[in-house]
């Protein structure tokens, strides 16, 4: 399913396509581990990732015929240069049940969750290379708008804890007033991020697990005369739909996050 000829075709495609995305990718050479700017190392850390939110096995297989659910034949990484930093885009070209699948990792915190790429140019070119119909100049054409909205750091898949925390805070407090949020900060304690204005009553705890955010709210329990802590979960995608889908929302969240001090422990 995979050989040196196809591998060179893929490398040629990446080298032609990446500049159209204003990116530059480093290839895993089969020997020296590929380290991303957020600290993950591939293929070593493939044993620690999830795929589409599941525990499907994934690992390196030079020919694509390994014993994993996802057999990785090529890995390319780009370390982003635009805030929020650090960020990365790591592509995994794989075979799943004998079919070519391109996965992408952009995670910064928690367990990396590899998702199938939405970039049609990357998917179609990999499929063409696999079935033998790829033409060397097919990847050189400029990307159209729908292919350019995929997996770049400019894609609005938020990974910055400050930005995610801002949206979680908006969700929990129903507060979208810029003036009252300008003193927000994020710190870490007890295995969680916390966002608030410095008082325990205002702080909201949250964690980031791949594409899922866990956050906690408090509710007074009349029976016990105590305040109970209630855990909630939401996908980052759903969080973005509510608080990061328009230009104004994006500017708002970014301005709040950019105004925060560095994340510190307590």
Residue 184 structure tokens = 């927000």
Q: Output 92 or 146, whichever has higher pLDDT.
A: 92
Q: How far apart are CA 49 and CA 27, in angstroms?
A: 19
Question: pLDDT-derived band of residue 256, with 50, 70 and 90 as boundaries?
Answer: confident
pLDDT tens track for 9-23: 999 999 999 988 888
| pTM recorded for the entire structure | 0.57
Give the mean model confidence (pLDDT) for residues 88-105: 95
Q: How far apart are CA 172 and CA 95, in angstroms?
A: 41
Helices first, then strands: H and E counts in the chain: 7, 15
Question: pLDDT-derived band of residue 194, with 50, 70 and 90 as boundaries?
Answer: very high
Q: How far apart are CA 168 and CA 214, in angstroms?
A: 9
CB 138 within 8 A of CB 20: no
Q: Does residue 57 have a cis bond before it (omega within 30 degrees)?
A: no
pLDDT tens track for 103-147: 999 888 788 999 999 888 999 999 999 998 888 664 444 443 333
Query: Is the confidence at residue 266, as pLDDT, over 70?
Result: no
- The SS3 of residue 67 is coil
pLDDT tens track for 212-246: 899 998 775 555 566 678 899 998 888 988 888 88
Q: How far apart are CA 165 and CA 40, in angstroms?
A: 22
pLDDT tens track for 222-231: 555 666 788 9
CB 22 within 8 A of CB 146: no
Query: Is the confidence at residue 78, as pLDDT, over 70?
Result: yes
Q: How far apart are CA 43 and CA 36, in angstroms?
A: 11
Lowest-pLDDT range, 31-45, 134-148, 187-201, 250-264?
A: 134-148
């Amino acid at each position: 399913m995979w050989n040196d000829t196809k591998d060179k075709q893929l490398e040629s495609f990446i080298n032609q396509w990446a500049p159209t995305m204003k990116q530059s990718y480093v290839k895993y050479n089969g020997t020296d581990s590929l380290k991303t700017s957020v600290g993950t190392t591939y293929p070593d850390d493939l044993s620690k990732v999830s795929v589409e939110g599941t525990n499907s096995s994934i690992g390196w297989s030079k020919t694509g015929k390994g014993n994993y659910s996802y057999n990785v034949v090529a890995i390319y990484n780009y370390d982003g240069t635009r805030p929020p930093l650090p960020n990365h885009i790591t592509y995994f070209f794989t075979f799943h049940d004998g079919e070519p699948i391109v996965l992408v990792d952009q995670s910064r915190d928690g367990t990396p969750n590899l998702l199938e790429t939405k970039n049609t140019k990357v998917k179609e070119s990999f499929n063409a290379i696999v079935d033998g119909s790829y033409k060397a100049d097919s990847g050189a054409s400029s990307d159209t708008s729908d292919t350019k909205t995929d997996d770049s750091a400019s894609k609005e898949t938020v990974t910055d804890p400050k930005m995610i925390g801002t949206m979680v805070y908006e969700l929990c407090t129903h507060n979208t007033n810029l003036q009252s949020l300008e003193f927000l900060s994020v710190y870490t304690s007890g295995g969680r991020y916390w966002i608030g204005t410095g008082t325990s009553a205002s702080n909201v705890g949250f964690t980031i697990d791949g594409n899922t955010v866990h956050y906690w709210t408090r509710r007074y329990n009349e029976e016990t005369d105590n305040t109970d802590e209630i855990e909630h979960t939401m996908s980052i995608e759903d969080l973005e739909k509510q608080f990061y889908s328009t230009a104004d929302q994006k500017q708002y969240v970014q301005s709040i996050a950019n105004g925060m001090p560095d994340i510190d422990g307590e």
